[in-house]
Amino acid sequence: MNYGKYKNARNAAWQCTIDYKICKLPVIITEIINMSNDINLYRNSDFKLLKDGESGMTVVENKCYNIVYNDNENSRRCRFTIAHELGHIFLGHLLINTPAYRTFAIRDNNESAANVFARDLLSPACVLHELQAVNAVDIAKLCNISKEAAEYREKRMRELEMRNAWYLHPLERQVINQFDDFIKSKKAEL
């Protein structure tokens, strides 16, 4: 994925965090959906739309985004799938009345961008940095994400910590300010 598309996905996750007033971890992904007038969430067990190996899909119908997720998967995987589908929506990938599917076999630019969005929404790097949560175990626990997702986040956190270029972007500064009370309370627990 080129850096421009990466930055767009990262910035979209920051903007979503700001717009939906997310200020603590773990992010309650259903609150974003509940606050949206045009996004609906459905379990696949109710509709049977997903094929084998598919974790989620979004269908645009009558200007509404309908996310269907595989509720037979564990809750942490479902959270990432739903966040991934939100990524498709907020990144503008779904502009026609056709479904988009989430599988782990497809790795095009839109899928990669939606993964970056989901990762950055569910486990914001600046918050993890402030809490010094940089290993997969801590990240998984704090963000309520799968071990696999936390391991990917740990790898990226190592890169970001080495770069040490925090709070250069105004959106990132807004996100960290929004999480200020949460960060202070978590540090007080230590």
Specify the pLDDT at position 105.
Answer: 46
pTM of the model: 0.91
d(CA 47, CA 44): 5
- Reported as half-sphere exposure (CB side, CA atoms, 13 A), residue 184 has a value of 5
Largest interatomic CA distance in the chain = 49
Strand partners, 64: 61
Task: Kindly list the averaged pLDDT for each block of 10 residues, start to end, along the chain of length 190.
Answer: 82 98 98 96 95 92 93 96 96 64 58 95 98 97 96 96 96 98 92
Among 111, 136, 124, which residue's Cα sits nearest to residue 56? 111
Specify the pLDDT at position 6.
Answer: 83
Specify whether the CB–CB gap between 154 and 88 falls below 8 A: no
